[in-house]
Chain A
Amino acid sequence: MADLTTVSEGEARLVSARDLLRVSNLRVRFQTPHGDVDAVRGISFAVGREETVGILGESGSGKSVSVGAVMGLLDSPPAKIKGEIRYGGLDLVQAPIRETRRIHGDRIAMINQDAVTSLNPGLTVGYQVAELFRVHRPGTSRGDARRKAAELLDRVKIPSARDRLNSYPHEFSGGMSQRVMIAMAIALEPEILIADEPTTALDVTVQAQIMQLLAELREQTGMALILITHDLGVVAESVEKVLVMYAGQIVERGPTAEIIDRPAHPYTAGLLASVPRTEHKDRKLEAIKGAPPVMSAIPPGCAFHPRCGWCRAACRKDAPELTAIEKFRDSACHFATEVYRG
């Protein structure tokens, strides 16, 4: 592993005052028996205080691996992580585990899709929530930890929270389990909450409850939110900024409303066009042709070129860089301006 990372004042200043988290040129490669696979291929983004950022992508786009790297969840090996993940003067890629342990699950917390299996089935919900305080805040008494656990379950609107402390996870529905996960994630008052497909396993009426709860909690605490999803509607309604990922790279980013209104990458435009709308009821849906590439066989040049209507010779050869086309708007397409102008 790397040397002990001591952060100089100069380095600390590179992280701007507003940016809580800055990811620079992050690359994640997995070594597999069938050869190396590049899951994340050089992505950079920053998350500011109180910001809400969405990462939109389909399966295999690298969105979950990216946040897995941020959370220190990738085992290395097989994962090889390159680049920087700056948080509070610390590079989470290089820092030793005793440093990152104070960040992961504490300053940056995460909930994921599968709340039901994320809980330990053999321990009561109250014990699992209270355990957080005993591990991360040594010195918290049993009674205090339990009282705080009850408060948290109440905050995430679990009915009769105090009584439910003694319940086991199997006594909770999917939606209630996700509430417990949220309670655990906010327990230590993190500055950033990463939500990886938090409602994908839930029904739409329960999804609405959970998204409303997250919005309320964010308002109360001011924590920043990184929301990973494949659902355009969820992105449209929940985050100010969005990064669109395809084949391990960011292909477009900017303010959510602007991107939905006027996409600047053919992939984003294709996704938006394929959504069924009332006024297009009698028309064929505008599907994107082909399928997303598998990570072990990413096309040369622009990874999207085999599926793209704008594809020209350059696209098969040269990978386009993510470049600005407008203030706050970036697109990685040789024809970004043309796509943007429609």
Chain B
Amino acid sequence: MAKAASESAAVGEPLFKVENLVKHFEVRDGSLLGGGSKVIRAVDDVSFTLHRGETLGIVGESGCGKSTLARVLLRLVEPTSGKAHLEGENIFDLNKHEMRLRRRRLQIIFQDPFASLNPRMTVAEIVREPWAIFPGEVPRREWHDRVVELLKRVGLNADDAHRHPHQFSGGQRQRIGIARSLALNPEIVICDEPVSALDVSIQAQVINLLEEIQDEFGLSYIFIAHDLSIVRHISDRVAVMYLGKFIELGNWRDIYESPTHPYTQALLSAAPSIDAAERRQRIILEGEVPSPLSPPTGCRFRTRCHRAEDRCASEEPELSLRGGRQLCACHFAAPMPA
């Protein structure tokens, strides 16, 4: 079943084009009596193109909007505005029925393998559930064999089909989630922190599995994580997110080895490393991420930025080419001093 997908696709053609995506949440003010409402700008004007067979990594700290972005792209929550073209068709224009049909091409793997599997269902029921939702996808008489085939592919046994999620370790549960996400032969899989709940010794197993099935099934990944070294390992391109915006986007090597946005530079320098050679001059950022309820005017990073000048408060920098090979949203984009 994997063959069709991988043969039909030339790696690299644009597959999923996201344009000016915005998701604002309205929250009521604390006061009960006629309090006004405020807007959280969780995702604020994000654009990117995902190419067939590639992995786009998205890194950022908690609250930057990366998980909201994942949910909007699947229409688990509706966007405020923007478009997402899947082969020329804006998925946000589709009605409920049409979206359901497209959704099998877009799957998600969640962070928490303890919360994302129904504890009352057997593994077989979990993996084959999508086929009940999309009748005609796989004939019922083939269900059993296909479940076993998928379980084996993700490193589980045929016998595991009849067990329940609580009988498995975290790493095995994540494998079950991966098997289910593969059941409908998707083209795009959004991985939302897929290994961060796992023990260190298990993370590498799951990353390896994700890379293997990517080749076999011809998958494109949007890989969301806060662990910078894992994102570097798996990604072709990387986007860095801060307060709802992409602030730097480019080839993994350009982002990691010659970042030009001061936030990317600080983020990378802050990550502790076992390699003495990898340790950079640490840039300790002052303060913490401002509230997305009232982000700073102009550049959102300026309140913590050592390069900030007057212009940064009045004029919001666009994500554009600024001397480097990657896109950067900083008026003063520059490589780190050696």
Contacts and interface: CB of A to CB of B under 8 A. Distances in A.
B200 A207 contact: no
Contacts of B172: 291
A277 B208 CA distance: 14
Give the interface SS of chain B, mostly helix, strand, loop or mixed: helix
A339 B271 CA distance: 29
A166 interface: no
Contact of A287 (B204, B228, B230, B272): B204
A250 to B, nearest CB: 17
B275 A208 contact: no
Interface in A209-266: 209, 211-212, 230-234, 236-238, 260
Interface string B186-214: 00000000000001111111011001000
A35 B257 CA distance: 53
B284 A208 contact: yes
Given A286-B204, A287-B208, A208 B232 contact: no
Given A209-B285, A278-B256, A287-B205, A236 B274 contact: yes
Given A232-B200, A292-B201, A284 B208 contact: yes
A97 interface: no
A233 B282 contact: no
Contacts of A46: none
A288 B230 CA distance: 16
B205 A276 contact: no
A169 interface: no
Interface residues of A, number: 42
A160 interface: no
A278 B226 contact: no
Interface string A55-83: 00011000000000000000000000000
Nearest to A59: B199
B204 to A, nearest CB: 4
Nearest to B275: A277
Contacts of B159: none
B274 A212 contact: no
Contacts of A120: none
A233 B228 CA distance: 12
A88 to B, nearest CB: 33
Interface centre among A209, A238, A276 (most CB of B within 10 A): A276
B171 to A, nearest CB: 6
A161 interface: no
Residues of B in contact with A, size category: 35 or more
B288 A206 contact: yes
B157 interface: no
Contact of A58 (B200, B230, B289): B200
Interface string B265-285: 011011111110011001011
A6 interface: no
Contacts of A13: none
Given A205-B61, A237-B272, A278-B278, A291 B169 contact: yes
A275 B274 contact: yes
A338 interface: no
Nearest to A159: B287
Interface in B34-80: 61-62
B233 interface: yes
A316 B185 CA distance: 42
A271 B278 CA distance: 18
B200 A271 contact: yes
A231 B285 contact: no
A285 interface: yes
Interface of A: 58-59, 173, 175-176, 203-209, 211-212, 230-234, 236-238, 260, 270-272, 274-278, 280-281, 284-289, 291-292, 307
